Amino acid sequence: MTDPAIQTDAARIGCVSYMNTLPLIEGLGKLDDVRLTLTAPSGLAGLLAQGEVDVALVSIIDYQRAEKPLALLPCGMIGCDGPTMTVRVFSRVAPEKITTLHADADSHTSVALASLILMGMGAPKPTIEPFDVDQFRAHKKDGIEQSEDAWPEAMLLIGDKVVTDSPPAVWYPHQIDLGEAWKQQTGLPFVYAAWMTDQERVGDEVVRHACEILDRQRRHNQTRLDWIVNQRAPSRGWPLDAARHYLRSLLRYELAPPYKAGIERFFDMSAQAGLIDVRRPTRWA
């Protein structure tokens, strides 16, 4: 049984385990003063609200939607300043004709961003239909042949499955990289997720300790990205060259001022589009 004193002092950190999170979390599970909880992106704000973790890598839109007010921490994020590769709309019709979007709902932020981008391209606010590509693909194991018509007319995929489980490109002549589209529409970089904590715990010693660990680990992992790619990409079905380009050239992990400006614009646009009920002021720890 774990000593209660160790449990109290250890930083409880919630996050997801995709290729894009590895530069932030690789190595954390080996630290004695960290307790790591892995779950889907959509569940992390709830873990904070329930007090099950001290710090979590929360989908950025959930800052506005969370049950309890959160604070953003300056120790890391997942963002981009142009193409993202793994947040993508696939459509058989032109973007302005999309009315229903079947969405991989793991990331609340990507669903909101897709709605904003499509409206910016002249489409109506899309109806969002849940779509689990993993379950859909599982039919193949039952011997059911899938055809182009079996797939949704328009869908949003995120994460590793864009690389490992997306349908044949010829079926979807219209594809939108949402990071690239956001940059074209706003001129700003975009933040998909950032480390957050309960606002009432800003200044808490355990949260401060977690921030120091996360900042240190992020900086350390930036020095060994090639090692991370070589160790982790094959088991996740990623080609090494694609994974290296993804982590080195496309994604950003430091919460610099332009990314904070991107967050504010995203919150403003989400409020104007009715994607959030009340626009909370942004609290930076």
pLDDT digits (tens, 9 = 90+) for 106-145: 789 999 999 999 999 999 999 999 988 777 666 554 545 4
Predicted pLDDT of residue 40:
87
Helices 257-272 and 108-120, interaxial angle, to 10°? 70
Predicted pLDDT of residue 149:
74
Answer with the one of 135, 170, 186 that is the final residue of a domain: 186
227 is in which domain, residue-wise? 4-81+190-272
Does residue 278 lie within any of the structural domains? no
Looking at the DSSP bridge assignments, the partners of residue 13 are 36, 55
pLDDT digits (tens, 9 = 90+) for 15-37: 998 999 999 999 999 999 999 99
- Residues 67, 198: one domain? yes
Q: How far apart, in Å, are the Cα atoms of 265 and each of 9, 154, 189, 202, 262?
A: 37, 26, 10, 24, 5
- Average pLDDT of span 41-47: 91
Predicted pLDDT of residue 168:
87
Does residue 110 lie within any of the structural domains? yes
222 exposure class (CB count in 10 Å sphere: 0-12, 13-18, 19+):
middle
Q: How many residues make up the chain in this entry?
A: 285
Answer with the one of 186, 215, 236 that is the final residue of a domain: 186
What is the band of 41 on the pLDDT scale with cuts at 50, 70, 90? Answer: confident
CB 80 within 8 A of CB 190: yes
